[in-house]
Structure 1
Amino acid sequence: MNPNAGFTHNHVFLGSAHDDNARRTLWVVALTLTMMVGEIAAGYITGSMALLADGFHMATHAGALGIAAAAYAYAKRHAGSARFSFGTGKVGDLGGFASALILGLVALGIGVESVIRLLQPTAVEFGPATLIAVVGLAVNVVSALLLGHGHSAGHDHHHGHSHSPHGHDNNLRSAYVHVLADALTSVLAIVALLAGRYLGWVWLDPVMGLVGAIVIARWAWTLIRSTAAVLLDQTDGHIADEIRTLVEQPGDAAITDLHVWRIGPEAHAAIVSVVGSVGTSAGSIRERLKPVHEIRHLTVEFRQATGPSF
């Protein structure tokens, strides 16, 4: 029997919905790939550049969704590896960051193409293009329904008190945003194509493209900021304040150094350096911090006060 067994712990900080979210993402990857192949094939058969362009556009989203699926698989496979000091809980954030960059490039591409078409209008085959846009929207709605439950649950998270089983899964969030971006472009395209066909507003197509590019760019920037914050170990101020209150409120201890950062969708780590009076100890500080359920990896450095106060 290992005498230290009670003092050891693992570093698996994957979200409780990790496997479920991974399955959802794989289904969406399969749907996106099917739609992509269908559009490219139809484009070659009919000679429609619009279909080919949309098919290759979907390929970029399939690639980003593939990154999300790969991130889930990698995080699961290496969850117990000693090579990762705090486990693989942040692999999803890395995947989300990469997907956000791709989303930003997609927005840039749509914006540039829209400006070109606004300056140099091109003929549009409204019938086939509208049909494909409707089919694309249907695929995106199904994909959004597959991903939406986990994503909306993640948004129920309140700083310092996460009751959601999904937590802040930025990998799932990135996949969801890609699906929303595709759905948005489909909706805008349908509106523009119908207006062009029945009202003669050919100019509305590139204008809607610009609107979509701006909205998608904003989503990409928001996702980049949130994932970068995790990757750069940004301090969670709400949890840090809660820790300070619990440790210092009794008046017999003071925090001299504090680090709080996220290591997984539902897990934070904390290093708390404390100076305390006689009667306090590292063990008593740990007891005070038990209500902070977000902390899954806690290190307490304790030093006895040498003077009458601290």
Structure 2
Amino acid sequence: MSHSHLGHDHGHDHSHVPTVSGANERKVLLSFFLIFGFMLVEVVGGILSGSLALLADAGHMLTDAAALALAYAAFRFGRRAADSKRTFGYLRFEVIAGFLNALTLFGIVGWIVYEAIERFRQPGDILASPMMLVAIVGLLINLLVLWIMTRGETEHVNIKGAILHVMGDLLGSVGAITAAIVIYLTGWTPIDPILSMVVALLILRSAWTLMAKSIHILLEGAPDNAKPDEIERKLLASVPDLAAVSHIHVWQITSGRTMATLSVRPAIDSKAKAVSREVEHLLMSDFGIEHSTIAIDWNDDIEDRCSLQQMPHGHGHRHEGHAH
């Protein structure tokens, strides 16, 4: 049965500028300087000690710094107001930055694996004491940055991406410390590339998670807590005078900013306004959908179409030019 979208209800503010606090921006910027600064120290320490684990961790810290820089840039761009060309502003910049973060993680995994294979083929001398000292300082820096990043808002895809980077680097520091202890006590240097490979696998898992989330948003997939079939069941069970729900589309502009369009048919046309308002309220309260566009399927349109279908053939032709 066809339907007519003759009414829409928008009882809310249409501003699509994200509410990114200045505190978010400051913590990202501070974390960037901490990570980037120590990454330079770790490169020098890795070269002097001959440790692949340290160099791998330094490479991962470089991607951490890039992730934080992208997150900061995303926040700055995301604050720009919508215009005639970009009606939702620059909100998707965050998701694109998250996708690029995932790509950098895949890249660093490939580099670590390559270097580890080379170390197995041609083992080198490793100075355990400076390696351990640098790794311990790196662990402390990563713990500090992780503490900073997990204060306050953490739902933005870029904040999550940066946290994943830092957590992976935290594991890298633990691996470097473990390798340094083993080498110091036993002199067994293969532990260095072995633990580097373990860290690479952990980074790979984080990269896959971040990329999957970013691609899901870019493909306008429905968030886990707002599946169309669940929305339909909830609306029909909870909204008085709602007869039917159809054409439900749910997607995210960016992390935490969910939109929806759907058609509703009231039991009685005079109840359409109340039904649409109740539907909008429930979508917001139960599913976190802050922007919903609700089309009304009017009962009188359906009745007119059914009447036309029941008319004799000749009468039906006389009404073809009428709009209902």
TM-score category, normalised to shorter length: 0.7 to 0.9
Distance 1:266 1:260, change over 3 A: same
Following TM superposition, by how much is the alpha carbon of 1:236 offset from its aligned partner in structure 2, in angstroms? 2.9
1:156 paired residue number: none
Q: Shift of residue 35 of structure 1?
A: 1.3
Bigger drift between 256-265 and 190-199 goes to 256-265
Are 2:183 and 1:196 aligned?
Answer: yes
Q: 1:137 aligns with which of 136, 139, 144?
A: 139
Q: 1:104 to 1:52 in 2, by over 3 A?
A: closer
Match in the other structure for 2:30: 27
Q: Does residue 88 of the first structure (1) align with residue 93 of the second (2)?
A: no
Q: Give 1:59's match in structure 2, choosing from 62, 75, 79.
A: 62
| Matches for 1:100-115 after TM superposition, within 5 Å | 100-115=102-117
Tell me: CA distance 1:180–1:303, structure 2 relative to 1, closer, same or farther (3 Å).
Answer: same
Identify which of 295, 307, 310 aligns with 2:289: 295
**Alignment root-mean-square deviation, CA:** 2.8
Question: What's the counterpart of residue 243 of structure 1?
Answer: 231
CA distance in 2, matches of 1:53, 1:269: 41
Say whether 1:37 aligns with 2:43: no
Tell me the secondary structure at the aligned position of residue 16 of structure 2: coil
Q: TM-score, normalised by structure 2?
A: 0.78
Find the aligned partners of 1:269 and 1:167 in 2 and give their Cα distance.
20
Give distance in 2, aligned partners of 1:247 and 1:282: 15
Given that residues 45 and 131 in structure 2 are in contact (C-alpha distance below 8 angstroms), is that contact kept between their aligned partners in structure 1? Answer: no
Residue 268 (structure 1) aligned with residue 262 (structure 2) = no
Separation in 1, partners of 2:118, 2:291: 53
Aligned-pair identity (%) = 30
1:233 and 1:137 map into 2 onto residues whose CA distance is 38
Unaligned runs of at least 5 residues, structure 1: 1-5, 151-165
Measured against aligned partners, the alpha-carbon deviations of 1:73-100 in whole angstroms (never above 9, x if no partner) come to 1112x13444322333332222111111
State the partner residue of 1:205: 192
Partner of 2:309: none
Q: Is the 8 A contact 2:102 2:208 kept in 1?
A: yes
Give 3-state SS (helix, strand or coil) of 2:296's partner. strand
Correspondence for 1:157: none
1:197, distance to aligned residue in structure 2 (A): 1.2
Residue 207 (structure 2) aligns with: 220
Q: Return the offset for 1:237.
A: 5.4
Partner residue in 2 for 1:231: 218
Alignment TM-score, normalising by the size of structure 1: 0.81
What residue is the counterpart of 2:14 in the other structure? 10
After TM superposition, give the deviation of residue 257 of structure 1 in Å. 0.3
Distance 1:183 1:102, change over 3 A: same
Structure 2 residue runs without a partner (length 5+): 1-9, 307-324
Letter in 2 for 1:33: F
Alignment partners' CA distance in 1, 2:184 and 2:45: 22
Counterparts of 2:117 and 2:56 in 1: how far apart (Å)?
Answer: 16
Q: Counterpart amino acid of 1:109?
A: W
Larger Rg: 2
Q: How many residues align?
A: 285
Question: Which moves more between the two structures, 288-297 or 121-130?
Answer: 288-297
Q: Which amino acid aligns with 2:25?
A: A
Distance in structure 2 (CA, Å) of the matches to 1:98 and 1:27? 21
- Which stretch of the first structure deviates more once superposed, 261-270 or 243-252? 243-252
